[in-house]
Amino acid sequence: MRTLTRTFVVLIALVVVGAACQAGATPTAAPTSQVTSEPTASPTEGPATPNPDDLLALVKARGKLIVSTDPEYPPQSALLPDGTYEGFDIDVANEIAKRLGVGIEFVTPGWDIITAGGWGGRWDVSVGSMTKTVPRQQVVDFSAAYYFTPAQMAASTQSGITTLEELAGKVVCTGVATTYFDWINGSLDLGDELLAPVPAGMTAVTLPTDRNCAEQWAAGRFDFDGWLSSSTTVEDAINDGLPLIEVGDPVFVERLRAAVDKNGPPHGEFMREIDAIIFRMHADGTLSDLSLKWFGVDLTQL
C-alpha cells in the first residue's frame, strides 16, 4: 500500500502541474485534476411537500435501497463465499441506507450496463466508484464526490517496464466501459480535469472489470504489457502478492460519486438527500475512517 506521505506528495505535485498549465506552460509530468474543493455544507433542503413519485419516497415506502455493485473489485467491493459483500463502496452504501432509515439489497449488473443508463428500475443507485465524465452525464445524474483516487498504470515485474513511455506501442489491459479504457483510446472527457498524454500507439484489451487483468496475470496470461486501474486496486493486487510494480505517476485523478439513472423515476429529492448524507459523512469523519480501513490512507480529501 502506498504510504500516506507518497500520496500527499503526488497530489501536491499535481496541483503544481495544474497551475503551470493554467499559466500556459506545457506539462512535463503526468498531470491529474485541477484541484478544487467539493462543497462542505449540506445542499438546499428539498420542497416542503415531498413528491410521492420521487425516488426518495419510493425507496422509503419499499423500506429498502437497491444498490448496484461489482462483485470482483476489491478493496471497493467483493462478493464473499457466504453470499455477503465487503469493501469500501459496500460500507459507504450501507451507511447511506442506514441514514435513509431503510434496509439494503445489492445487485451485480455489468459495469457497461450501469454506465449506459436505462436501468429500467432494476436498482435505485450505483455506489460503485463512478467517475463523472461528460458522456456519462447524458445518461446518469451524479452525487457529490465521496472520495478521490489516482488512475495508476502497472506492469508485471517480468516485463522490465518501469516508465510510462516504455508502454508506447504496447497493449494495456483494463475494464470495459471504464475511464481507463477511454483514456487509452483518447476519448476520455472529464471536463476541465487535466490528463497525461497517452503514449503513442498504446492499445487496450478489456475484461469485465480492471481487477480481472491482475487475476489473468496471476493465472499466467501475458498477452498484454500493462494494466491501468485505480491506485487502490493496483496496490491491493500488489499486497495480495502479485508480481506487479506501479509504472510512472498517476495519469489522472478521479472524483468518485454515486449515480442515478436519468431515465428512472424523478429523483431530485433523492439526490439532495444523498448529497446531504455524503456531506455529513465527510464532516463527521465517517468517510475518512472507512478510507483508512480499506485503503490505509485518507482518500476523501483532495
**pLDDT on residue 203:** 97
Query: Which residue range(s) make up the domain with 274?
Result: 55-147+255-295
- 178 plus 244 within the same structural domain: yes
The label of the residue with cell 498484454 reads 224
pLDDT digits (tens, 9 = 90+) for 66-111: 999 999 999 999 999 999 999 999 999 999 999 999 999 999 999 9
The answer on 250 and 156 residing in a single domain is yes
Residues 259 and 214 in one domain: no
Closest CA to 167 of 188, 150, 152, 148: 152
Q: What pLDDT score was predicted for residue 299?
A: 96
**200-213: per-residue pLDDT in tens?**
999 999 999 998 99
pLDDT in the model for residue 18: 40
C-alpha distances in Å from residue 13, one per residue of 7, 177, 278: 10, 29, 27
User: Is residue 60 one of the residues assigned to a domain?
Assistant: yes
pLDDT confidence of residue 217: 84
In this structure, the answer to whether residues 164 and 213 fall within a common structural domain is yes
Domain identity same for 261 and 239: no
301 assigned to some structural domain: no
User: Has residue 43 been placed in a domain?
Assistant: no
Locus of grid cell 450505483: 126
Instruction: Give whole-number Cα distances, 59 to 90, 98, 107, in Å.
Output: 18, 12, 15
Whole-prediction pTM value?
0.79
> Is the domain of 63 the same as that of 136?
yes
What CATH code is carried by the domain that includes residue 163?
Answer: 3.40.190.10
Question: 161 and 140 in one domain?
Answer: no
Residue ranges in the chain modelled with pLDDT below 70: 1-49
In a domain, 130, yes or no: yes
**49 within some domain:** no
Angstrom distance (rounded) from CA 178 to CA 111: 8
Q: Number of structural domains, the chain?
A: 2
Within this chain, do residues 230 and 98 fall inside the same structural domain, yes or no?
A: no
pLDDT of residue 2: 37
Residues 154 and 235 reside in one and the same domain: yes
* pLDDT confidence of residue 38: 55
Q: Domain for residue 243, yes or no? A: yes
